[in-house]
Amino acid sequence: MRSTMQEFPLTIGVILRHGAEVHGDGEVVTATADSLRSESYAQVAVRAARLAHALRSLGITGDQRVGTFQWNNAEHLEAYLAVPSMGAVLHTLNIRLFPEQLTYIANHAEDRVVVVDDSLVPLLARLLPTFETVQHVLVAGPEAGSADLDSLRTGGVEVHLYDELLDAADATFAWPDVDELDAAAMCYTSGTTGNPKGVVYSHRSAYLHSMAVSLGVTGGLTWTDRVLPIVPMFHANAWGLAYASVMSGASLVMPDRWLQAEPLCRFMRQARPTVSGAVPTVWNDVLSYLDQHEDLELASHLRLVLCGGSAVPVSLQQALSERHGLHMVQAWGMTETSPVASVARPPAGVEGDGEWHYRGGQGRLLPGIEARIVGDAGDPLPRDGEAVGELEVRGAWVTGAYYKDDDPEKFRDGWLRTGDVGTLDGLGYITLTDRAKDVIKSGGEWISSVELENALMAHPDVQEAAVVGIPDEKWQERPLATVVLREGATVRPAELRDFLARSVARWQLPDAWTFIEAVPRTSVGKFDKKVIRRWYADGELEVAGGSD
């Protein structure tokens, strides 16, 4: 028996029309160096239509890829909406990747057009000669007219001013009927080993993911909200916050390039967001800034901070809550999962100190996502919160393959192998203890680097800490703790070791310690532990014992 329901496509075009026709009073506010600029969702829809016409005139007539080389701002949102809705494919280029990686992904995706922010023209100009398929560059932003446009004219590439093209185009566009299973957008993994791998999101997956981000257990978005995506729109589609906001009618407040703590806090005071999303590094810096500026208050309007990208220390969540009244919730996912797959809210009835067991983990699975833990042989392990294995996931917004890249090692029987190691309990809560490549095996026992890092970052003198395994003749591997101290702190390894001993088994305590100025990071803000291992192997670290 078939249902009587209409076949209604789940597409980005539907989100665009809904935002324009139902939530035209919503707005996108973009930060500038010294003020704000704003346009309504109704105006965004008109500009998206004009952009679609402009791209058609440049030869984007099918599913060609349109790259964006942009910050979080109104023009980037216009591309987010226009490109998929016209049947083309949005390709967000991660400006923080190494040059050779950016060259690889632009050529691998076969980008035909790139939209670039005026401030990023010098960076793109250095890369553009290596982009083999790009034919047109659109320069966007308030200062586009004063950018060095000639630097982009290389190898026959045609350069256009974004606003000039839009001004010359019609204000309405006949949006085509797009198959919901067709490609809408693509992102590439950060490529910590080998070349980055392309993940292609469908219209359907993006629509369903947007609904999941809007759920009460995730962002709880309504048209009364003002959403601040600090996480870049070139990183896993800003965790879906842009599409979810247009879908729900929540206004978007965009930080553009102003991502340091001082301008970010100033922008928050002006734009008054109710929800934000960013990696822990950003909120560590914001916390330090708030501690130093007691007159700056955010809790009266900022009801929720979604945090992820790497493990979120409980100490950071507690400090923001206790000292500044801010509620942070950890979310987990990957580029391959669109990315949000679970959210760390405690079960009903769990309060007080009992919350932190759940809030410190990766959270409860969202509807539409399934997970399992498997052992070394690939056999599913019990969902008891104790059995440790590799996390595998599948679901409505989880990729089943990489673009033009057969990587069978990453997929098993329809499940995505995440490369994360941890536990899964009977209520669907994930607790990750490490990346598979970062687990420390010492004397036949496993030591979680994440557990050690979180415990270290609870020390009041520690800004950040990263732990890696280093070779040991007797035990195979032992932990090396690399520590970033807060400004003015002088704590010694022995003191930190004693502090750790309060919450960590003594056999797991690091034997080797080093203090560094900053933890190296990948292009998406995660700790880059391979760099730390290389520093150690090359003798670049000043290492002390735990009794020093």
- Residues belonging to the active site: 189, 336, 441, 446
Distance CA 399, CA 393 (A): 10
Dig out the tokens for 215 from the structure: 């759920």
DSSP 451-501: HHHHHHTTSTTEEEEEEEEEEETTTEEEEEEEEEEPTT----HHHHHHHHT
Helix (H, G, I), strand (E, B) or coil at 290: helix
DSSP 337-388: GSSEEEE--PPTT--GGGHHHHHTS-EEEPTTEEEEEE-TTSPBPPSSS---
Cβ atoms of 60 and 88 within 8 Å: the answer is: yes
Q: Among 431, 264, 304, which residue's Cα sits nearest to residue 363? A: 431
- Please calculate the CA angle 394-89-135 and round it to the nearest 5 degrees: 145
Q: Which residues pair with 161 in a beta bridge?
A: 139
Q: Among 402, 414, 3, 9, which residue's Cα sits nearest to residue 204? A: 9
Cβ atoms of 65 and 111 within 8 Å: the answer is: yes
- Cα-Cα-Cα-Cα dihedral sign, residues 340, 341, 343, 344: negative
- Cα-Cα-Cα-Cα dihedral sign, residues 36, 40, 45, 46: negative
Orientation of helix 449-456 relative to helix 493-500, angle to 10°: 110
Q: Which residues pair with 277 in a beta bridge?
A: 229, 306
Residues 6+ apart with CB under 8 A from 9: 177, 178, 179, 180, 203
Q: Among 374, 379, 425, 372, which residue's Cα sits nearest to residue 394? A: 372
- Cα-Cα-Cα-Cα dihedral sign, residues 140, 276, 314, 484: positive
